Chain A
Amino acid sequence: MTETVLWTGCIVLAGALGAMAARAVRLPAACGAMAGGLLTSVGVNSLGLMPQALDLLDLRAALVAFVCLLAGVEIDLTRLVKDRRSIAAAVGAQCLLVGGLVALAGLMLGYPPRISLLLAVCLMATSPTALMAVASELRASGHLTRRLLAQSGIGLLAALALMHFVFFITSPQGEIGSFLLSVVVGAVMGFVILVPLSRMSQRGAMVTGAATGALVLALVARGLGPRLEQVAAMSIIAGFIVGNFSSNRDSIRDALRDVGLPCVIALFAVAGFGLQAGELAAGLGSGLALLAARAAGLMLAGAVTPGGRAGIVQGLAQLPAAGITSGGALAAMTTMSLVAAATAVPALWEGFVVAAAASELFGMIAARWVLARAGEAPLAEQVTVR
C-alpha cells in the first residue's frame, strides 16, 4: 500500500506536467495527462522499476466514480425531456452505425464474431468522462455541453446494457441481472447522496458528500466484482439524480465543477499508466482500422440525426486534421488496449472504461472546438477561486 501511494503520486505528477504541456500547445489537458501517464509507464518499464504489487484498480474505480458522478450531475432533466426525441435518435443512430461498422471492421480484421460484437459495443459509446474533461477544463456548462453529456451518458448506459446482453447470449450466467443491479444501486445511492447535499451550503461540505458517495459507489462495485463499467453506470445514474432532484442543484454543480479538472487529470494519468505500450504498438494497424470505423460511424450518426447535426458534424469533420496534428497515434494505441483486452475476454471488463475514456481523444478535441464555436466556453480560462 505504501508503494502504491508513492507510485500514485509520481503518476499523477507526471500526468499534471503532461497536462500543463498539452495546455501550452492548446490541446485538452486530459490528452497530456494520459501521455504523461503513458510515458511514465514506458520509462518505468524500460528501467525495470515497475513494482510487482502495484494495484491501481481501487484508485481507478474511485476516480471513474467521481468523474462519472460529475458527468451525471451535469445532465439536465429538463433539457433531456425537451430534447428527448433528438437525443434518443442520436444515441440510436450512433449505436447502430458505430456498432455495425466496428463489428464489420472487426470481422474483416479476423476477430471471432463474439469479440467483434463486444468491440462494437465498447466503441459505440461516447465516453462521458472525456466530455466531462473538456467541459470541466473549459468551464463550459451551456446547452450544448449538457446535451452532449446527456447523449454520451445515455449512450454509455445503452452500450453497457448491450454488452451485458451480448455476454448473456454468448454465456448466459445472469449478466442482465448485474446490469439491473447497477442501475438500482446507482439510483438508491443518488438519493442517499442527495439528502445531505440538499441541506449543505458550504462548497467543501458538498465536495465531501459527493466524494463520499463516489467512494461508496466504487466500493460497492468492487464488492460486486472487479468491473469498472459498473462503477461508471452507477455513478452516472447517481449523479443524474443529485443534479436534478436537489433544491440547490446549481450550487452543487458549481462546487463540483471546481474540483473536476484535477480528478480528470488523475484519471487519465492513471489510465495512461495502465496502457501497455508494447502490446499496443503490436496492434497499431488494427487499432487504427477500428478507430477509423468508429469515426466514420460517428460522422454518419451526426449526419442522419436532425438535432445534433450542426455542431457535431462540424466538430467531427475536424477529426482528421486534429488527429494528425495531435494525439492521433496515442488514440490509436489506446484503442489497441481494447483490442489487447478483447483477446482475453475477462480483461475486457477492466479495460472497457479505460479504453472507452481514452479512445475519446479525438472526440475531445472535436468537442473542445465545438464548444468554443458555440460560445459556451472561452478558450482563455479564467483563474477563479470561489
Chain B
Amino acid sequence: MSSHPMAVAVVLTVALVLSRPWLEARRPIVSLVLILGFVLGTGGVRWLGPDLQAGFTPILALATGWLALLAAEAWNLSTLRRAKAGRRLGLSLLCAVAAAVVMAAVARWLGLPAPWAAGLLLAAACIAQDPEAARDALSRATLPDARARLAPSGASVSLGAALLFSSLAQVPAVGGSATTFHLAPDATSTITLGVLLGVIAVLMLRLAQGSGMLLALLAALAVTGCGVALWLDLSACALLFCAGVILANDASRRDLVFALLRQWERPALCAMLLLAGASLGVGLAPGGYFPAICLMTAGVLLARFVIFGARWREAMALPPLVLVLTLSTATRPEPAAIAMALVAGEVILLPSRRPR
C-alpha cells in the first residue's frame, strides 16, 4: 500500500469526482468503481498494476469476508424452512456438480491442466448469486410479493454454498505443472475455525452494550478471523461465512448484528470491485478456455431455465460475462476472486435502480 500511495489516491479521487454524474445517470455506483478499476488496472493504464494489487490482497480478502459474513444472514434455520431454501440449495448443488463434470470434460478435451479443480471452481461460480443483485432484479420483475421477499434468501443460500464449495479446491495458476487439490484438511480447518469464531462472537456480543460497541467488536472479530485465515492460508471468505452462520442462528441479537454489518456493506463492495476490476485482464480467457466458457455459459443458462424454472431476469443473473470474469480470476487460486468476479458481472449487467 505504501509503495504507490499517490496513485491509489488519484484513483479514488477520480471515483469520487465521477460518482455524481454516474448517480445522475441512474447507474449503480458500484459499477463505476468496477469499470474504473479495470481502466486503471492491469487491463488499462496499469496504475494499479500487479505489484500494487499484491499488497491489497488482505484488503480484498477482508472485503469479501465481510460480504460473506452478511450473506450468512439467510442461513438461519427458521428462514431456510420458511423460504424452502433447502430445495433450492439442493438444485444449486446438483447444477454445480453437473457444471463441474462438463467443465472438467471440456478442459480435458482441450488438454488443459488441472481440469477437476478448475471444474470445481467453476461449479462454485455457477451456483452463486449475489443476494443484493437478486433483490434488485426481482424488485422490477412482476413477481408475487412473497416470492420476491424470499428470493434474496435463496440467493444468499446459494452464495454461501458457493463459498464453501470454492474453499474445497485450491488450483495453481492455469498452465502450471502441479495440480494441488486439497479437499478435506483445508475445508475442515476452515469450517472449524469459522464456527469457533462464530461462537466466540456470540459470547462476546452478549456482553456488549450499545450499537457502536457491537460494531467495534464485530469489526475486530472479522479482521481477526480474516488474519487467521490468511496466516493459515485458508479461505477468509469461507471462514467468515461459517462464523456468520453461527451469528445468524443466535436469536438474541441477530437483527441488530446484521443491521450493523450492513452499514459497512457498501464500502466493502466498492473496495472489492475496484480491486476486481484492476485484476481483470491478466489472464482473460487464458490457454484456450474461451470455447469452454461459451459452452458453459449456454449450459448454465439452460440449466437455470430448465431446473429452476427461472424467469429470464433470474436466469440472466449469472450472465455470460460472469463466466469470463470468473475464468479470468480463477487463474488465481483464491476463492475470493471467484466471489468478486461473480458480483462484478452481475453488477455490470444488471440495469439501474439499484440502491445508492
Residues of chain A having any CB pair with chain B under 8 Å:
1-10, 12-13, 15-17, 19-20, 23, 29, 55, 57-58, 136-137, 189, 192-193, 195-196, 198-205, 207-209, 211-213, 215-216, 219-220, 222-223, 258-262, 265-266, 381, 383-385
Residue in B closest to A139 when the chains form the complex, CB atoms:
B212
With A212-B270, A216-B13, A223-B5 known as contacts, the answer to whether A199 contacts B24 (CB < 8 A) is yes
| B311 CB within 8 Å of chain A | no
- Contact at B224–A223, with CB atoms within 8 Å? no
Q: How far apart are A6's CB and chain B's nearest CB, in angstroms?
A: 3
Given contacts A5-B58, A9-B221, 8 further A-B contacts (CB under 8 A): A15-B216, A57-B2, A196-B20, A204-B267, A211-B267, A212-B16, A383-B210, A383-B256
Secondary structure class of chain A's binding surface, majority of residues? helix
- Contact at B55–A1, with CB atoms within 8 Å? yes
- Contact at A208–B13, with CB atoms within 8 Å? no
Bound complex: CA of A241 vs CA of B90, how far in Å? 53
Total interface residues in chain B, CB < 8 Å: 56
Residues from chain B with a CB closer than 8 A to the CB of A137 are: 212
Q: How far apart are A40's CB and chain B's nearest CB, in angstroms?
A: 12
Residues from chain A with a CB closer than 8 A to the CB of B55 are: 1
Partner of A219, one of B6, B208, B225, B355: B6
- Contact at A16–B216, with CB atoms within 8 Å? yes
Residue of B221, B223, B259 with most partner-chain A CB within 10 A: B223
- Contact at A20–B208, with CB atoms within 8 Å? yes
| B189 CB within 8 Å of chain A | no
- Contact at A219–B9, with CB atoms within 8 Å? yes
Tell me the B241-266 residues at the A interface (CB within 8 Å): 256, 259-260, 262-266
- Contact at A13–B224, with CB atoms within 8 Å? yes
- Contact at B12–A216, with CB atoms within 8 Å? yes
Tell me the B299-319 residues at the A interface (CB within 8 Å): none
Bound complex: CA of A203 vs CA of B260, how far in Å? 12
Q: How far apart are A9's CB and chain B's nearest CB, in angstroms?
A: 3
Q: How far apart are A284's CB and chain B's nearest CB, in angstroms?
A: 30
- Contact at B270–A208, with CB atoms within 8 Å? yes
Partner of B19, one of A10, A16, A209, A384: A209
Q: Would you give 12 A-B contacts (Cβ < 8 Å), ordered by A?
A: A5-B227, A6-B224, A6-B228, A9-B220, A9-B225, A9-B228, A16-B217, A202-B355, A205-B355, A207-B266, A212-B270, A385-B259
With A4-B58, A6-B224, A13-B224 known as contacts, the answer to whether A381 contacts B210 (CB < 8 A) is yes
- Contact at A208–B266, with CB atoms within 8 Å? yes
Bound complex: CA of A137 vs CA of B231, how far in Å? 33
Residues from chain B with a CB closer than 8 A to the CB of A203 are: 263
With A195-B20, A212-B16, A260-B212 known as contacts, the answer to whether A1 contacts B6 (CB < 8 A) is no
Residues from chain B with a CB closer than 8 A to the CB of A7 are: 227
Residues from chain A with a CB closer than 8 A to the CB of B29 are: 205, 208
Bound complex: CA of A8 vs CA of B58, how far in Å? 12
Residues from chain A with a CB closer than 8 A to the CB of B216 are: 12, 15-16, 19, 261-262, 265-266
Bound complex: CA of A201 vs CA of B266, how far in Å? 13
Bound complex: CA of A208 vs CA of B23, how far in Å? 14
| B219 CB within 8 Å of chain A | yes
With A9-B223, A266-B216 known as contacts, the answer to whether A204 contacts B265 (CB < 8 A) is yes
Residue in A closest to B24 when the chains form the complex, CB atoms:
A199
Q: Mark B204-245, 1 if CB is under 8 A from A, else 0.
A: 100111111101110111111111101100000000000000
